[in-house]
Amino acid sequence: MPIVSFMVNNLRWIAGGFLLTFFSSFGQTYFISLSAGEIRAEYGLSHGDFGAVYMLATLASAASLPLVGKIIDRTSVSATVALSAPVLALACVIMAWSHSLALLVLSIYLLRLFGQGMFTHIAMTAMGRWFAAQRGRAVSLSAIGVNFGEAAFPISFVTVAAFLGWRGAWLLAAGILLAVALPLIYQLMKVERTPQSVAQDPNSPAARDWTRAEVLRDPLFWTACLGVLAPAFIGTTVFFHQVYLSELRGWDASVFAASFAIMSAMTIIFALVAGQLIDRFSAIRILPSFLAPLALSCFVLASTDAAWGAYAFMALMGISYGFSSTLFGALWPELYGVKHLGGIRSLIVAFMVFATAMGPGLTGALIDRGVSYPQQITAMGFYCVIMLGLMTLVSRKALKRAAAHGTRAEPG
């Protein structure tokens, strides 16, 4: 089916998924960091203090997500949105009105849990459950919402804050969630898609619906996680320490800032490319693909003092992010079915949030101990090379396991 026809026929569900990832921006690191300077000044926090507060709240949200995320397996997608959006709005209000450190921690915890966590989780679970034959396209078109958020919200927040102050900007975010995001997404997703049945290829991975307990006992799951968590760990680590790296290389601060536009463009392009490839070959077959550009990006960044290294790194990182953002939305339904997808995906998202919290802290501690940061980035590149080989083995084993279990009809 041509992509235009696909979008027309499935507009309400694709738009709902897109808006969920778009408005997840209010809980993403880049959006919260727009107020970092004001927060540190308001609460008398050093850079290290605020980093510790942020890590604590993020780790708590990661620990909570497996419990909260499985709600979507017990209720409808629209009902889960109706529960999550008001809590995310409340987190924005707490951020705007708080003058105590305890409320700051609570605000960041809720922003991370229901913004980056639940909004993204709902979108990817819905696309994974409602689509199969065109799952790659559905996931890719929904996942790029966060990239459009990266393009739209920073300048919008700065502009609003100039007139209303940073607290006023957070109040406006809460109002947008309640007046725009909640009713619009709810209306779009209250009618759940009924997939059509299609014949499944004998080598297609999913053979049955696994429970979350069964997944946790599956060695293949833990092996796959070793590679799946790499983009979150590496990307967040490099972005967090970008000022330090710029100082080491003698780059102007504008170098990294300008390169984010390159990364966003490449992420959107290759998210859509990955969607097409997944629909043609399956997610499990192209599983190792996101690690090759990720490894190369690390080697480039670690090996050159020239400013073009930052741009090349961000372009390659964008390719990896594009592939992984789509791939990870389609991979788990193929491996473990869709009946318990909410509970299973909540584990994955929690692990990714954990990786984003631990990466900056671990590498920062190594920097303090005198370990060269470029050498650390090189080590990350070699890790990706090793994981590329391991993910190839995971892909082959998953296909063999599916073939051994026979075939079944898969929702289309």
Which tens digit of pLDDT belongs to each residue from 90-126? 999 999 999 999 999 999 999 999 998 899 989 988 9
Which range of residues forms the domain containing residue 363?
Answer: 208-404
Same domain, 175 and 237: no
Q: 410 pLDDT band (50/70/90 cuts)?
A: very low
2 lies in some domain: no
Please compute the mean of the pLDDT values over residues 73-100 and round it to a whole number.
Answer: 94
Instruction: Please state, for a pLDDT cut of 70, what percent of the chain lies above it.
Output: 93
For 112, list phi and psi in degrees, rounded to 5.
-70, -40
Same domain, 165 and 234: no
Q: 45 pLDDT band (50/70/90 cuts)?
A: confident
Check pLDDT > 50 for residue 409: no
Mean pLDDT of the chain, nearest integer:
86
pLDDT tens-digit series, residues 152-181:
888 888 889 999 999 999 999 999 999 999
Please compute the mean of the pLDDT values over residues 231-251 and round it to a whole number.
Answer: 83
Same domain, 39 and 119: yes
pLDDT tens-digit series, residues 316-367:
999 999 898 888 878 888 888 878 888 888 888 888 888 877 777 788 778 8
Same domain, 156 and 85: yes
Check pLDDT > 50 for residue 407: no
Q: What is the spatial distance between Cα 91 and Cα 171, in angstroms, rounded to a whole number?
A: 10
> Tokens standing for 373?
């940061």
Please compute the mean of the pLDDT values over residues 209-217 and round it to a whole number.
Answer: 89
DSSP string across 355-391: HHHHHHHHHHHHHHTT--HHHHHHHHHHHHHHHHHHH
Check pLDDT > 50 for residue 29: yes
Return the closest-CA partner of residue 394 out of 220, 216, 206: 220
Same domain, 26 and 106: yes
For 174, list phi and psi in degrees, rounded to 5.
-60, -45
> Tokens standing for 339?
């009946």
Q: What pLDDT was estimated at residue 204?
A: 47
Same domain, 304 and 358: yes
Q: What pLDDT was estimated at residue 1?
A: 58
Same domain, 132 and 39: yes
Check pLDDT > 50 for residue 199: no
The reported pTM is: 0.79
* CA angle centred on 146, ends 142 and 147, rounded to 5°: 105
Last residue of a domain, one of 194, 228, 254: 194
Q: What pLDDT was estimated at residue 411?
A: 34
Same domain, 12 and 148: yes
Domains: count for the chain? 2
Q: Do residues 292 and 387 make contact, with C-beta atoms less than 8 angstroms apart?
A: no
Q: What is the spatial distance between Cα 276 and Cα 1, in angstroms, rounded to a whole number?
A: 11
